[in-house]
Amino acid sequence: MMNDWAGLPATYSDVLRRAMDSLFRTFENFSEGTFIVDAEARVVWINKRYAARFGFADPEQAIGRDCEAVIPNSLMREVVKTGKPILLDILETDREPLVVTRLPLKDDAGETVGAVGFALFDELKALTPLFSHYSRVQEELIATRKSLAQARRAKYTFGSFVGTSAASLEVKRQARRAAQLESPVLLLGETGTGKELLAHAIHGGSARANQPLVTVNVAAIPDTLLEVEFFGAAPGAYTGADRKGRVGKFELANGGTLFLDEIGDMPLPLQGKLLRVLQDKEFEPLGSNRIVRADVRIIAATSADLPALVAAGRFRADLFYRLNVLTIHAPPLRERASDIEALAYAMLEDLSTQARGGSHYELQDDALRLLCAYAWPGNVRELRNTLERAVMLSDSERIDARALAPFVGSGQGGALSAIQGAPHAQPPAVAEPGNPAMQPSSWNEAMAAFEKRFLSDALRANGGRVVDTAAQIGMGRATLYKKIAAHGIEI
Ligand SMILES: Nc1ncnc2c1ncn2[C@@H]1O[C@H](COP(=O)(O)OP(=O)(O)OP(=O)(O)O)[C@@H](O)[C@H]1O
Ligand SMILES: [Mg+2]
């Protein structure tokens, strides 16, 4: 039946055909870019202006190419594959973004045979507020990503690891070697020995230095959240506060390094999952069907006795062997007492630059000797904290033993224990607040005990020769004799 379009339409299909026709024409008229692909997402038609915008002087040059080769970031392949339209989208281009509409083209049997896309780049005026909002959000996102990337860079380099003792040089040598390799690194050592510092330095010295360094502190995250923290979750995958979905640390670290701190605290089920990811180099975020490739270098650290945890069945042996390829033991500070001086000077230098008013802190010789006599159970971190406190509370920039002693061992008998116990090669003198034997009853008593111990050590080191000892410790000979007598020191 023929229709007169001045009158009323007779059938729905006729209206539909007309509407479609008109819709397409409207789109075509208003859109400055029209683009058609076949079932393989290859360009079958593109208008001149759109082709020119993407660098094709003649549209013919674009025909037959994959859609992405003509329009980078094109999603026409997805439309062809799913048969579903993308009614409104923003296409990022190297110039301003475009508003695009993509529709599947179907044959009579409903099969998708191609897709048509329209770019509305001259009709953006109505969308200006939306666009400026979008641009602002986009700029903020870029800035945030930049500062995040900055934060994910290595904080320390090998140069930050102070120490020239044989043990420190060996650690640095091993860490430098580890930086050249790709296998996992396991950092073992007591608390405060510089494991985190080494992890940063290894990443910073590796080929992955320009990629992210992402840290997960296993001990700091509740077991129930760890899996999501590691592998991420699809939106709505779990009924937590986090319904938006979450990108896991593995994915964030892609191309870079994942630093697993306190790995000894990892719950057993997660150890199994981690092992699988290390073997397969891919994983699936929780509740998603997405496979994520994990090109991630692992650096793990723990202050726990990992072999003992393996023996106790609390750490999987297979994971331990997987991680235990390049193992670096950060030695406790008491085993490299010769580093204490350099460390203390470096730290004071640091504290001086941090201090306002151009302070320049100096350690007197007796203060240095006090530091060297203590066993530092908290290692370098404890040394730093001690100096920081002493500097903050000291009246003078020249810090002597008297000013320092209250802070060594947190003033809980640590200084005294350092004085009383043989200083090095001993188990750490852990201050026990409840132990009266370790508590000095007064300042004078503590200082006297320190002095006696210090002088005895100095005399022993000089074979009991008072003259040499006096010269070495910078004390007058007569004073030294008097003190030997006063303390009842046997030579
Ligand atoms: N050799 C070193 N030279 C300079 N600073 C150091 C050195 N070793 C450790 N530090 C400093 O000591 C502090 C503790 O180091 P770090 O956090 O790396 O220790 P850790 O082994 O990770 O300890 P924990 O097991 O408690 O986490 C940091 O401030 C670090 O910069
Ligand atoms: Mg640490």
Q: Tell me: the pLDDT tens digits for 355-365?
A: 766 778 889 99
Q: CB-hemisphere CA count at 13 Å for 114?
A: 13
Quick one: which atom of ligand 1 is closest to the CA of 168? Answer: 1
Give percent of the chain with pLDDT exceeding 90.
45
Q: Tell me: the pLDDT tens digits for 255-285?
A: 999 999 999 999 999 999 999 999 999 998 8
Q: Tell me: the pLDDT tens digits for 380-412?
A: 999 999 999 888 887 788 988 888 888 888 644
> Which residue puts its alpha carbon closest to atom 31 of ligand 1?
197
Mutate to test the pocket of ligand 1, among 168, 381, 384 (most ligand atoms within 8 A of CB): 381
> Which residue puts its alpha carbon closest to atom 13 of ligand 1?
381
Task: Place 425 in a pLDDT band, splitting at 50, 70 and 90.
Answer: very low
Determine the Cα–Cα distance for residues 265 and 306; give it in Å rounded to an integer: 10
Structure-token pair, residue 432: 């026990």
Distance 411 CA to ligand 1 centre (A): 22
CATH class in words for 334-487: mainly alpha
Task: Place 174 in a pLDDT band, splitting at 50, 70 and 90.
Answer: very high
Does the Cβ of 376 fall within 6 Å of ligand 1? no
Query: What pLDDT was estimated at residue 287?
Result: 85
Q: Over 60: is that where the pLDDT of 311 sits?
A: yes
Distance 82 CA to ligand 1 centre (A): 53
* Contact partners, residue 286, CB within 8 Å, separation at least 6: 227, 228, 231, 232, 233, 234, 237, 238
Choosing among 3.40.50.10860, 3.30.450.20, 3.40.109.10, 3.40.50.300, the CATH entry for 19-124 is 3.30.450.20
Does the Cβ of 163 fall within 6 Å of ligand 1? yes
Q: Which of 159, 183, 253 is nearest to 215 (CA)?
A: 253
Does the Cβ of 355 fall within 6 Å of ligand 1? no
Residues forming CATH 3.30.450.20 domain(s) in the chain: 19-124
Distance 189 CA to ligand 2 centre (A): 10
> Which residue puts its alpha carbon closest to atom 26 of ligand 1?
191
**Residue holding tokens 């920039």?**
397
The neighbour count for residue 382, using CB atoms within 10 Å, is 21
Residues forming CATH 3.40.50.300 domain(s) in the chain: 158-331
Quick one: which atom of ligand 1 is closest to the CA of 187? Answer: 21
Residues forming CATH 1.10.8.60 domain(s) in the chain: 334-487
Query: What pLDDT was estimated at residue 415?
Result: 47
Query: What pLDDT was estimated at residue 9?
Result: 55
Q: Tell me: the pLDDT tens digits for 312-355?
A: 999 999 999 999 999 999 999 999 999 999 999 999 988 888 77
Distance 167 CA to ligand 2 centre (A): 19
Does the Cβ of 380 fall within 6 Å of ligand 1? yes
Choosing among 3.30.310.50, 3.40.50.300, 3.40.228.10, 3.90.330.10, the CATH entry for 158-331 is 3.40.50.300
Higher pLDDT, 116 or 491: 116
By the CB criterion, residues less than 5 angstroms from ion ligand 2 are 196
Q: Of the ranges 245-254, 338-347, 352-361, 452-461, which is most confident? A: 338-347
Distance 344 CA to ligand 1 centre (A): 13
> Which residue puts its alpha carbon closest to atom 12 of ligand 1?
381
> Which residue puts its alpha carbon closest to atom 28 of ligand 1?
381
- How many angstroms separate the first and last alpha carbons of the chain? 127
Does the Cβ of 379 fall within 6 Å of ligand 1? no
pTM of the model: 0.61
Distance 355 CA to ligand 2 centre (A): 25
Q: Over 90: is that where the pLDDT of 479 sits?
A: no
Q: Tell me: the pLDDT tens digits for 18-49?
A: 888 888 788 777 777 889 999 999 999 998 88
Query: What pLDDT was estimated at residue 25?
Result: 80
Distance 152 CA to ligand 1 centre (A): 18
Phi/psi for 53 (5° steps) reads -60, -25
Determine the Cα–Cα distance for residues 59 and 76; give it in Å rounded to an integer: 18
Task: Place 238 in a pLDDT band, splitting at 50, 70 and 90.
Answer: low
User: SS3 string of the chain?
Assistant: CCCCCCCCCCCHHHHHHHHHHHHHHHHHHHCCEEEEEECCCEEEEECHHHHHHCCCCCHHHHCCCEHHHHCCCCCHHHHHHHCCCEEEEEECCCCCCEEEEEEEEECCCCCEEEEEEEECCCCCHHHHHHHHHHHHHHHHHHHHHHHHHHHCCCCCCHHHCCCCCHHHHHHHHHHHHHHHCCCCEEEECCCCCCHHHHHHHHHHCCCCCCCCEEEEEHHHCCHHHHHHHHHEECCCCCCCCCCCCEECHHHHCCCCEEEEECHHHCCHHHHHHHHHHHHHCEECCECCCCCEECCCEEEEEECCCHHHHHHCCCCCHHHHHHHCCEEEECCCHHHHHHHHHHHHHHHHHHHHHHCCCCCCCEECHHHHHHHHHCCCCCHHHHHHHHHHHHHHHCCCCEECHHHHHHHHHHHCCHHHHHHHCCCCCCCCCCCCCCCHHHCCCCHHHHHHHHHHHHHHHHHHHCCCCHHHHHHHHCCCHHHHHHHHHHHCCCC
Query: What pLDDT was estimated at residue 243?
Result: 63
Q: Tell me: the pLDDT tens digits for 138-147?
A: 888 888 887 7
Q: Are strands 112-119 and 33-38 parallel, antiparallel or unpaired?
A: antiparallel
Query: What pLDDT was estimated at residue 339?
Result: 95
